[in-house]
Amino acid sequence: GLRFASTTATLKTETEADTSENEVVAPDFTNRNPRNLEQLALARKERGWKTTWPKREFWHRLRLERTQHYVEAFVERCNGDVVVSASTREWAIKRHLYSPKGVTACRNLGRVMAQRCLEAGINFVNFKAVIPWEYRCDSIQEFEKAMQEGGVILREPRRIYQ
């Protein structure tokens, strides 16, 4: 009887002593996460490069490089750092393809790239760095369709100014 009461009493005081200091919270909060502002659409986009092409008004840009021997896709930031990449030079992709260049390679690269982007938490990418007369060709169209079917949206949301 008595012992039981005392154990419950001490438990309560322990938990109260534990959590009594929780209420003290600093009035300013700084979030160190570098991806926080761009995920909330509050980060700055570099607006100054309007007279050159390609423009740098994005948070993440999708760039497709097609060479005679392979196809590569990069998602990069405006300062040039690559975040996610996929290429037909990687053994994981090369072994399932007949040729590491061409329309089928682009399409499958798009599917793999979409999966990797979603895993990395990149849902919105800018796909404007494509040369206009090359944009209509089959391989780039297939790549874009594969990315959209994979779930990545190829338009970045507008920054929230107000």
Residues contributing to the site for other proteins (CB under 8 A): 14-16, 18-19, 21-26, 29-37, 39-40, 42, 65, 77, 79-85, 90-99, 102-104, 107-108, 111-112, 115-116, 119-122, 131, 134, 142
> What distances in angstroms separate CA 109 from CA 26, 30, 80, 152, one per listed residue?
47, 38, 21, 14
Helix (H) or strand (E) holding 138: helix 138-150
Which residues contact residue 62 at a Cβ distance below 8 angstroms, ignoring those fewer than 6 apart?
Answer: 73, 74, 75, 113, 125, 126, 127, 129, 147, 154
CA contacts within 13 A on the Cβ side of 126: 17
- Residue 3: CB minimum distance to other proteins, A: 20
Residue 1 or 22: the one with the smaller Cβ distance to other proteins is 22
Report the nearest approach of other proteins to the CB of residue 113 (Å).
11
Task: Tell me which residue of 22, 35, 106, 116 sits closest to 65, measured CA to CA.
Answer: 106
Task: Quote the least distance from Cβ 159 to other proteins, whole Å.
Answer: 12
Q: Which residue has the tokens 């030079």?
A: 89
Q: Which is nearer to other proteins, 1 or 28 (CB)?
A: 28
Bridge-based pairing state of the strands 82-87 and 61-66 = unpaired
Q: Among residues 5 and 21, whose Cβ is nearest to other proteins?
A: 21
> Shortest gap between Cβ of 156 and other proteins (angstroms)?
16
Q: Are 127 and 62 in contact (CB under 8 A)?
A: yes
Closest to other proteins by CB, 3 or 32: 32
Minimum distance, C-beta of residue 1 to other proteins, in the bound complex (Å): 25
